[in-house]
Amino acid sequence: MSSMVYTLYGFAIFFMIFWLGMWIVHILALITGRWKLHRKPAQVPSYEVPLPGVSIIKPLMGVDPNLFNNLETFFTMDYPLYEILFCVEDESDPALMLVRKLLEKYPQVDARLFIGGCRVGVNPKINNMHPAYEAAKHELILISDSGIRMKEDTLFDMVRYMTEGVALVHQLPFTCDREGFAAAYEKIYFGTVQSRMYLAADVLRINCHTGMSALLRKAPLDEVGGLKKFGVYLAEDFFYAKSLTDRGWRITVCSQPALQNSGHCEMHSFQARLRRWAKLRVAMLPTTIILEPLTECFVLGACASWAAAVLFEWDSLVFYLVHILLWFMLDWTMLCVVQNSPLPLNKWEFVCGWLLNETTRPYLFLQAVLDPLIQWRSRVYKLKWGGVAEEVKAKVKY
């Protein structure tokens, strides 16, 4: 056999192994979701045993229609000891008015407001949070994005996973039920693609952390310089999680998903988020350029169908169609597991949203690779290999 034939067989074997690996990821995610998500504690929480205090850091910028209600859920949580530290960078930010209303409405809740931030790096979120982080008075820190909506027992759920040896407890990113196709599109993405990788990574102990809702031990962060240590990165969540795991700490997902509830739900803005996340992954892990496209249903299915024809002389079209059908069915099951209640979309909406998700992501990834600049609100950044970011003077498009 010629070297060309050996090369073809080598690629075919690689694609088949990768294809089998992705099915293992599917199964691991489903098992983990069934076993871990939405689990109620064996007994009603008792506050006779002192629970650790939690300092909740809420970085804010701008206002959306759901912001007030989202923030209010942090004032009504059933947890004995916590403080809320609101961070607003600009004194003219309209979010200040909402925060002050809540402070007046709930005077019994320990809450403070920090305005102006402190520049300790290029990351605007770290700069905004730094004064609050330094002033936090509890041993556990909850970093929570502005669009997160909490249930009464969410904080207790996160704290109960903060066992010995664990330094970071995070929530699986998901969404609240909202109206419109764009909302369904987001829910399908977070309930299938994101959940699959997130839950499988939790079992395999791979760092797949996103910082939209993360409970951390402050002491291990302070050992390396605190949050400001990670101000050189835009993906600070990945790097502080990596710092913890590199020193022997564990990270884990709690049972309640993070309920994103932004009042602005638009296709183009969400796709911009997907492109931005892809750019960050490529800069942090360059192998992403090669491997990530192979995790996509249609791309991997095409490669595996060709491999099946080469190795086993199977009908590639039949293989491809069966592959897509099975992937679709497992994604529907995954979404139902994560939702844990009746879905706010019917099966036809799921079909359309799922097809749009699967067909557009390879294109969005290609756009991300070809345009490495990252736009975050009014700022533009350039990423270096390794994830270090620098702010560039570029014209922002609106």
8 A C-beta contact, residue 325 and residue 351: no
> What CA–CA distance (Å, rounded) separates 389 from 373?
10
State both tokens at 235: 């993906």
| Chain position carrying tokens 């390396």 | 224
- Residue length, the chain? 398
> What CA–CA distance (Å, rounded) separates 345 from 84?
35
> What CA–CA distance (Å, rounded) separates 73 from 64?
16
> What CA–CA distance (Å, rounded) separates 236 from 168?
14
C-beta neighbour count of 253 within 10 angstroms? 25
Secondary structure class of 14 (helix, strand, coil): helix
Strands 140-144 and 54-60: parallel
**331 in catalytic set:** no
What is the DSSP code (8-state) at residue 323?
Answer: H
| Chain position carrying tokens 């929570």 | 144
Q: How many CA atoms lie within 13 A of 286 on its CB side?
A: 4
| H helix intervals, 92-163 | 95-105, 124-135, 154-160
Full DSSP string of 284-318: H-TTHHHHGGGGSHHHHHHHHHHHHHHHH---HHH
- 388-to-36, 143, 234, 284, 385 alpha-carbon distances in Å: 34, 21, 7, 8, 7
- 27-to-197, 263, 335, 389 alpha-carbon distances in Å: 11, 34, 13, 36
Q: Can you state the percent helix, strand and coil of the chain, rounding each to 5?
A: 50, 15, 35
> What CA–CA distance (Å, rounded) separates 11 from 17?
10
Amino acid identity of residue 341, one-letter, is S
Catalytic residue among 237, 246, 315, 371: 237
Q: Which residues are catalytic?
A: 237
